[in-house]
A and B are shown apart, each in its own frame.
Chain A
């Protein structure tokens, strides 16, 4: 396994980065932490002619709150998500999701933006962000735009980013959700990709579920909003039985495949279990 030849650029501004990507006519790729890209290049799955590194774009490392909500720059690493006091104070469930990823070395290098744009079906951050209604900010040849994160994913490894577009960050809007969490089922305690990942965000009014979003990872080509499952909850008093019912609906909604990590049948049943467990956790423990 050896990296193929490529040209390497580390521009100082976003504009330059976009310019380099545009000029490459689709033969260049962005590199952030490289923990996803380098592996794919070594395996011969990707062979970009040039890499455009974001390492000098310090503006993309920001984490902050403002009128629009919580903003997280795309170059923020997984460990920075975990350790950020701002995230701890707002949505610790995001830190919780990041903490279930990879291992310490990879979390130190891998970035949030890379996790989203890699568009891997089992990626751990998309479910919790989609559950929290996150939007992505991108910049490109046509300027800046912002759209729901759920619209980013087209299929495994495929996103709706236009040629030359760079993900600059994620915005988690202000919201009334009372609890959220992400539960991952991997086959060992560290360094295992998700067999199933389920994020739940709920808005409770007393014992009643006012609103809920359930997002399933690793059981469809893209992270998957289980709309029917969420609907079973609306306006009803939350109980374990209700969560189980939502779990059963989620299981019937998902479209898993069989692969080396688990059969479709197993994944489907795990969706039921983890939908129930994540709902219970979000309802009873808040944003965790």
Chain B
């Protein structure tokens, strides 16, 4: 390992103190003079025509300052995915799910807002609803959107190599079917936005993962120049994909503010968050593979259907991701992928941690274990046979540089005691394995643009004692502000403790696409590294002038400028930086990053491309109560190939957090609807996220290749989403090992285990 001064160390979080003392202000905490409170009225029906809306009573309520409906807002449809802009600020002709946006109110206080909402009279004509994605495409089904016949939102047919021939050549061909459920991100902080529209300029404070996309879409919707829209991210309490796109809170809030001339704070409560959704899709997954005698995969066919809900959100990408990520981990050549993403009259699904990848990965990891069983192979062995090698290209044309999946598997095997445990555990106990891989940033932005993906500026403050990093990167709790400051300090030869940061404000910080696709450490990191290096070069040239030596003889580390050859300290950062300002003006460095051109030319080729990929293996050991189906997780071993580590404690927090989410989806989480499309568990009591008490003991380790990842600054790769991906398959495989039951539908709930065990006993009788 090269030696670093600032990166590679568990520096305390730069915002830790503000958060633990409660000083940190989230969007919903902000207060401005004359601020109003706003809320959105939503549809009680899954599918209904709007016959009329009467807001007159609501408008008369004392304290109400504005009531708006579709008549008061632009008609232009929006969405995060330009492929399908299918959402209106307020429904115009009909509502498409329980929770669809119908009207909004701004009033002096929350109490009045709620009262006013109840006074709005909406006349509906109920329509038959589409709730089942499997029949949604049938003839004669109601149409969710007239523009999309047979309710098909996205249709994908990809074929690389020749899968049919591969199956003919195969020693063994097998098909299995699996189901993944709708789950919701459940960030702890509910969505909030404060909008202020004054003097032709719209300013929005929002709990967002991407000020840039919010700025872009707000400007587009209201016909404003991007420069007249300012989006600012205060502290954010988690997003996980659910806060990537602007919501009714920003759009309606902007209009309410324009009409009243006052700041308007809008928010979702917990149930409204569930209705706004953008969580994981429900997915029906059929996998067929053909393998040779050694278990080598010759070809894979994935045939999927996704329940997209009423709108597209990021679902086109989710649909492509679902197939595209499968070949990353295993080196097969022939791959076919068919997918229909269908509209239903349910909340819209989008990107949730791991995006389209975790459920198909669960399916493939279960399927592969079943293939291994057919062949009499050990699950780790079949994965070792197939594990992708470094410097290879997937059939769908993703270039993989560093890849230590084999090392991950071997390390996980050793750490977990796999060889001793497999087949030797007491009854009711089992051990399972699964792997995963994820992008370190998407190769292309969400809408087509030639903007660089990230940019940064570092300004050394005039007295030279500190430096401020200006970055559009978005810290939503994961710690990007901290790691980027570490990276800036490393690149400048300064200390972390001297760093300040201004981030995620479209007016004061340079452009960055934001927190999604595990992109910031690599992409924003590049921009920051370049900005820091530019500062250092200027600093050293100043020092060289002062010392009358050649700049190339000098370097700077941790604020000390020294002679490279002898190692003698000559000057310090602070005094040279101050002199620089006096003699040459502001000491500023800037940097930006755009990935190289990536991927193939076929339709959808962009989705899944990335400069670099992380790889991971998880092994888990479970204990099943054979009478109740209760699953206790005795231990999890997670091994990651995530490149160079900037902050070890933040990295392990990401692994734990991602595993926690993966675990929730494995065993507990599912958004449930009644037969009218109403959410039955839109609260934290009945939508059960695991609690700290449910967290198993996690042992994690990292593996590194001989060469650092060339595509990342200092060789970094992603970790934030990767650890969510193997977990579901890993648990399912461990449950199979323990009890001999194969659960083909998530979540692997206690009752499903109980039921499968009962059926197994009945069969054996």
Interface residues of A, Cβ cutoff 8 Å to B: 1-2, 103, 185, 187-193, 260-263, 266, 269-270, 273
Q: Which residues of A contact B691 (CB under 8 A)?
A: 103, 188-191
Interface check B690, CB cutoff 8 A: yes
Asked whether, in the complex, the Cβ of B271 is within 8 Å of the Cβ of A188, the reply is no
Q: Complex formed: what's the CA distance from A192 to B269 in Å?
A: 21
Q: Which residues of B contact A2 (CB under 8 A)?
A: 110-111, 114
Q: Which residues of B contact A260 (CB under 8 A)?
A: 672, 680-681, 686
Q: Which residues of B contact A187 (CB under 8 A)?
A: 668, 688, 749-750
Asked whether, in the complex, the Cβ of B754 is within 8 Å of the Cβ of A192, the reply is no
Q: Complex formed: what's the CA distance from A192 to B680 in Å?
A: 16
Asked whether, in the complex, the Cβ of A273 is within 8 Å of the Cβ of B627, the reply is yes
Q: How far is the CB of B101 from chain A (nearest CB, A)?
A: 18
Main secondary structure of the interface of B (DSSP, over half): loop
Q: Which of A188, A261, A266 contacts B754 (CB 8 A)?
A: A266
Q: B616-635, CB under 8 A of A: which get 1 and which 0?
A: 00000000000110100000
Interface check B694, CB cutoff 8 A: yes
Q: Complex formed: what's the CA distance from A261 to B685 in Å?
A: 11
Interface check B693, CB cutoff 8 A: yes
Chain A: which residue is nearest B670 at the CB level? A260
Q: How far is the CB of B666 from chain A (nearest CB, A)?
A: 13
By size class, the interface of chain B is 20 to 34
Q: Which of B269, B628, B693, B758 contacts A190 (CB 8 A)?
A: B693
Q: How far is the CB of A279 from chain B (nearest CB, A)?
A: 15
Asked whether, in the complex, the Cβ of A262 is within 8 Å of the Cβ of B688, the reply is no
Q: Which residues of B contact A270 (CB under 8 A)?
A: 628
Q: How far is the CB of B693 from chain A (nearest CB, A)?
A: 4
Asked whether, in the complex, the Cβ of B751 is within 8 Å of the Cβ of A1, the reply is no
Chain A: which residue is nearest B691 at the CB level? A190
Q: Which residues of B contact A261 (CB under 8 A)?
A: 686
Asked whether, in the complex, the Cβ of B688 is within 8 Å of the Cβ of A193, the reply is no
Known contacts A2-B110, A190-B691, A260-B680: A185-B685 contact under CB 8 Å? no
Interface check B742, CB cutoff 8 A: no
Q: Which residues of A contact B114 (CB under 8 A)?
A: 2
Q: Which residues of B contact A1 (CB under 8 A)?
A: 269, 271
Q: Which residues of B contact A189 (CB under 8 A)?
A: 691, 693-694
Q: How far is the CB of B58 from chain A (nearest CB, A)?
A: 15
Q: Complex formed: what's the CA distance from A103 to B672 in Å?
A: 24
Q: Complex formed: what's the CA distance from A269 to B630 in Å?
A: 13
Interface check B49, CB cutoff 8 A: no
Q: Complex formed: what's the CA distance from A141 to B443 in Å?
A: 75
Q: Which residues of A contact B754 (CB under 8 A)?
A: 266, 269
Asked whether, in the complex, the Cβ of A262 is within 8 Å of the Cβ of B668, the reply is no
Q: Complex formed: what's the CA distance from A260 to B749 in Å?
A: 12
Interface check B11, CB cutoff 8 A: no
Q: How far is the CB of A245 from chain B (nearest CB, A)?
A: 16
Find residues 241-272 in chain B having any chain A CB closer than 8 Å to their own CB: 269, 271
Q: Complex formed: what's the CA distance from A260 to B679 in Å?
A: 11
Q: Which residues of A contact B177 (CB under 8 A)?
A: none
Interface check B755, CB cutoff 8 A: yes
Q: How far is the CB of A168 from chain B (nearest CB, A)?
A: 30
Find residues 721-755 in chain B having any chain A CB closer than 8 Å to their own CB: 749-751, 754-755
Asked whether, in the complex, the Cβ of A188 is within 8 Å of the Cβ of B269, the reply is no
Q: Which residues of A contact B749 (CB under 8 A)?
A: 187
Q: How far is the CB of B253 from chain A (nearest CB, A)?
A: 19
Known contacts A1-B271, A273-B628: A192-B688 contact under CB 8 Å? yes
Asked whether, in the complex, the Cβ of A263 is within 8 Å of the Cβ of B688, the reply is no
Asked whether, in the complex, the Cβ of A191 is within 8 Å of the Cβ of B694, the reply is no
Find residues 100-120 in chain B having any chain A CB closer than 8 Å to their own CB: 110-111, 114
Q: Which residues of B contact A191 (CB under 8 A)?
A: 684-685, 688, 691
Would you list the 4 A-B pairs with minimal beta carbon distance, nearest first? A2-B114, A189-B693, A273-B627, A190-B691
Max chain A Cβ within 10 angstroms of own Cβ: one of B628, B685, B758? B628
Q: Complex formed: what's the CA distance from A262 to B749 in Å?
A: 10
Q: Which residues of A contact B111 (CB under 8 A)?
A: 2
A-B contact pairs, 5 of them (CB 8 A): A188-B688, A190-B693, A192-B685, A263-B751, A269-B754
